[in-house]
Amino acid sequence: MDQTPVRKPDAPGRVLGLAVFALGVALLLFVFYVAYAELTGNAMAQVARPPQAGPDMGAALTLVLKAIFLFLLGYLASGIAGRGIGLYQAARGEPAE
């Protein structure tokens, strides 16, 4: 017979888990907004403009660095949202998968 102890739900833990999840979702929305603003703003126009004396590697490098930075921010934001869900599940007393 399995004698696994039953954990009771933890109300403050649930609230904290939902708050961390909401923070992660808010950060994801911020990253999507910044990416949209960059793509519709002046950055793409600078790269798409025909060069007069050759390619502008500074603008291309800036665009690549911004893309990498936005990817890292999105990755971190999704990790924060995932931790919030993990906290919420732990506070509910559900076993971890």
SS3 labels along the chain: CCCCCCCCCCHHHHHHHHHHHHHHHHHHHHHHHHHHHHHHCHHHHHHHCCCCCCCCHHHHHHHHHHHHHHHHHHHHHHHHHHHHHHHHHHHHCCCCC
Instruction: Examine residue 3 and state whether it is found in any structural domain, yes or no.
Output: no
Domain count, the chain: 1
Instruction: Examine residue 52 and state whether it is found in any structural domain, yes or no.
Output: yes
Instruction: Examine residue 1 and state whether it is found in any structural domain, yes or no.
Output: no
pLDDT value at residue 70: 87
Instruction: Examine residue 60 and state whether it is found in any structural domain, yes or no.
Output: yes
Instruction: Examine residue 6 and state whether it is found in any structural domain, yes or no.
Output: no
Q: Which domain holds residue 47?
A: 11-92
pLDDT value at residue 7: 67
Instruction: Examine residue 2 and state whether it is found in any structural domain, yes or no.
Output: no
Instruction: Examine residue 69 and state whether it is found in any structural domain, yes or no.
Output: yes
Give this prediction's pTM: 0.68
From the first residue on, what is the mean pLDDT of each consecutive set of 10 residues in the chain (97 residues)? 66 90 93 84 62 70 86 91 90 67
